[in-house]
Amino acid sequence: LQKSLNETFGADKYSEARKEVLTNMFSRPMQMALYFCTGILEDETLFRHYALNVPFYTHFTSPIRRYADIIVHRLLSASLGARSPIRMKKEAIQRQADHCNDRKMASKRVQELSADLFFAVFVRVR
């Protein structure tokens, strides 16, 4: 997809903007990852990463970016014995995960609306 977009849009002053908007629109249908506490879910097939075809998967980035990443770092560190165990019940961890999912969805929606507005203005101008 990226190769096709690069070849299609040329090099005029709007090519990068067109490519960015369409890339965003093409990626919308992809399933968004959700945070959850594994102690809450009984169905281990929900831990699977479909695209990577692995049965157990977790993802996190630097803990300076998102609160969910801080929690994952703390839980991973505790499970490896590098720090004391987390003193949160699994229900409290799930509430935190739900909150992170809500904020992530709201952020994604604002991003989509912004792209829609940009695209509408772009079409109107052109």
7-22 pLDDT, tens digit per residue, is 777 677 777 777 777 7
Residue 5 has pLDDT above 70, yes or no: no
8 and 36 co-located in one domain: no
Closest CA to 47 of 35, 39, 56: 56
pLDDT confidence bin for 110, thresholds 50/70/90:
very high
Output the pTM of the full model.
0.65
Number of domains in the chain: 2
Q: Please, which pLDDT band fits residue 56 given cuts at 50, 70 and 90?
A: confident
For position 77, what pLDDT does the model report? 92
In a shared domain, residues 24 and 85 = no
Q: What angle do CA 114, 36, 110 make, to 5 degrees?
A: 5
Is-contact 88 81, C-beta < 8 A?
no
Owning domain of residue 91: 31-125
